[in-house]
Chains A and B, each alone.
Chain A
């Protein structure tokens, strides 16, 4: 049996398994029939194994160039480097949906297997939810977007993988994003289960907390590495463009981050039960919305949307999940009264509530800005843009306010903060922030936003570090205190990572750029740099014609680097593509793009000086340390 028919058969079987899992679990729950519940779990496990096998089969088919499969023809060729054949998995819609389904299945199955004895009450309905979502995606794959569809006659070679996907970042960040977006199904399933049962004690999220943190960590790193990929590969000098595709992964991140904060209030104080459920329902809906938005072709035009099968089917699913889960919430509303009171407006609880308000308002604004052009085009056909000017004017103030709250939170006591303790707690961090702002103003900084951002960096950093210092004093050493309370201090480490990322963002206020057209032997200046176009090199490889400009970079008369930006012509795709020249340092990046190279070696070069960018990547690294610390916490241990 060939790979294509085996794959198709396994997809049908996996679809049937997921459908059975969902129906048996629901039946078992309604009839209190343990046998049916158990069979449902087994069906889910089988479906997961079958889906995983499909994924492996597709990877094998891509690797051995099985050109009888249409998907393999469309996204690989014999000249595609072997190391990148598996990135073809997410080059097209069918492959990426299969990856989505496989990861969903893996998360759901692991969660069910691990929780079925400890949370026997919540697992059956959760299994039904997992099974239904999985059945939907597998049905879509089996009947509408089949990655194993064959073509005939079998071509000799495939069309090849777009060169943009042949980069190490491209091999990592989509997987991280998928791992993040699909993992959110675990808390979603348990939340729905708790709603159906009508009991919202914190167990539904304490038992899935590590899953939520894990998914959130993947999502965070995926988004940042996506930015790194754009920075290194796309050659426009930046890492975030408020592109709808970027927004699609940023939206669930915003609500998931809000959720990670607000569950702490429910745990500590028994408040915000309904809100927490609503947040996780919204988060998973937004995660589906992201897939829908990027995969439906809606962003390219309304026209491609109407032709895409995914758009036709994903929209009803999205509607069903969003409307259905919130209807469930409305139905159970009166059972979900909070049992505690807020003691004071000035307390850590209310800091968390403001944090949530801002996160959700930001998420809504980004969502609105993303879909507004689509809605306008659909209603009256006119094309408009909502671009960085809109998003930045909302994101920068709101983001900075959220950032400030991350410093305020740890300084304010739970329940009720006394004026005296507030004065004592805020004295040092606030003065650090003020000193930073004043000294920046004296040294002649002109950008208010950057000045404020850097002042906040100092404030948040000293507030957070202060927590480590006082904790270490009270508990005999820094490592000891972190070990004793991994969630809390892991969270603070994540916040310190955010401080560095904001430091990196603030560099955007001081970007410089220039465009010049020069011949070999000529040079140009940007910032402190003198850049000499030493010579041009042109040569061919089997895949591309390489046009390289060799640039000698000097600062203050001293040679510091040789950069080689390229403009290559890829033969298979018949498209030009730039490879940037980058010199990075902790202070600033020098970023060169060859936008044009004429026959007579005249080159058009666009150069940027991007201050502090490296700190974004360093901050991401610190954040990931914090994530590992949080994940090391054993379940069920209170904060």
Chain B
């Protein structure tokens, strides 16, 4: 009985993480701000296009807006960006593999903690 509350909270938490880790819907049409905020600037290492103060980035923001006005979906705009500026502009790697390692480690840690708590709370 006393396990229900922690387990419920934990499940909710995992669900929220999974939801937020899930990328944008590939077929939906994003706004230019969404795309600029998730795309890494090809000009300033480590900054997104939205943040990059370079004047070249201002041009890129305009080009993104043009592509979106033409009706580009999330998937299409990402493809267009990769063709023009390389895979390094995607702020999150395309494959979901990058998530597996931290997810696995966290799961193992959670299991270990659960086992530990059970052992410690025994007689």
Contacts and interface: CB of A to CB of B under 8 A. Distances in A.
Interface of A: 234-238, 241-244, 271, 338, 341-346, 350, 353-354, 357, 360-361, 364-365, 368-369, 372, 382-390, 393-394, 396-398, 401, 513, 515, 578, 593, 595-596, 604, 606
Secondary structure dominating the interface of B:
helix
Interface string B34-63: 000110100010111011111100100100
Given A364-B106, A387-B92, A241 B47 contact: yes
A350 to B, nearest CB: 7
Given A341-B120, A345-B121, A386 B92 contact: yes
22 contacts: A236-B47, A236-B52, A237-B51, A241-B46, A241-B47, A345-B121, A346-B2, A361-B105, A361-B109, A365-B102, A368-B102, A384-B87, A388-B48, A389-B92, A390-B93, A393-B20, A393-B21, A394-B20, A397-B17, A515-B61, A595-B54, A595-B55
B66 interface: no
Interface in B83-123: 86-93, 98, 101-102, 105-106, 109-110, 113, 117, 120-122
Contacts of B3: 345
A515 B98 CA distance: 34
A393 B117 CA distance: 29
A328 to B, nearest CB: 20
A583 to B, nearest CB: 18
A127 to B, nearest CB: 34
Closest 3 CB pairs of A and B: A387-B91, A342-B120, A236-B51
B113 A593 contact: no
Contact of B17 (A236, A244, A388, A394): A394
Contacts of A390: 91-93, 98
Nearest to A408: B9
Nearest to B38: A389
B20 A397 contact: yes
Contacts of B46: 241-244, 387
Given A236-B51, A396-B20, A515-B61, 19 more contacts: A236-B47, A343-B121, A345-B2, A346-B5, A346-B6, A353-B113, A357-B109, A368-B101, A385-B90, A386-B92, A386-B93, A386-B98, A387-B38, A387-B48, A388-B37, A393-B21, A397-B13, A596-B55, A606-B58
A482 B6 CA distance: 32
Contacts of A394: 17, 20-21, 102
Nearest to A365: B102
B17 A398 contact: yes
A604 B61 CA distance: 14
Interface centre among B40, B90, B102, B122 (most CB of A within 10 A): B102
A578 B17 CA distance: 38
Given A243-B46, A353-B113, A383-B87, A341 B102 contact: no
Contacts of B61: 515
Contact of B53 (A338, A389, A396, A578): A578
Contacts of B109: 357, 360-361
B16 interface: yes
A407 to B, nearest CB: 14
A515 B89 contact: no
A595 B89 CA distance: 21
Contacts of A384: 87-88, 90, 93
Contact of B2 (A242, A344, A401, A595): A344
A243 B51 CA distance: 13
Contact of B110 (A244, A350, A357, A385): A357
Contacts of B44: 236
Contacts of B6: 345-346, 350, 354
A244 B40 CA distance: 14
A241 to B, nearest CB: 6
Nearest to B20: A393
A357 B108 CA distance: 11
Interface in B1-18: 2-3, 5-6, 13, 16-17
Contacts of A369: 98, 102
A595 B58 contact: yes
Nearest to B123: A341
B106 A385 contact: no
A346 B5 CA distance: 9
A385 B21 contact: no
Contacts of B86: 383
A382 B82 CA distance: 13
A290 to B, nearest CB: 16
Contacts of A361: 102, 105-106, 109
B107 to A, nearest CB: 9
Nearest to B54: A595
A134 to B, nearest CB: 32
A270 to B, nearest CB: 11
Nearest to B7: A345
Contacts of A341: 120-122
Contacts of B54: 595
Nearest to A246: B46
A271 B20 CA distance: 34
Contacts of A593: 53
A479 B98 CA distance: 50
B121 A342 contact: yes
A595 B51 CA distance: 12
Nearest to A360: B109
Nearest to B57: A595
A37 B25 CA distance: 65
A369 B88 CA distance: 14
Nearest to A401: B13
A277 to B, nearest CB: 16
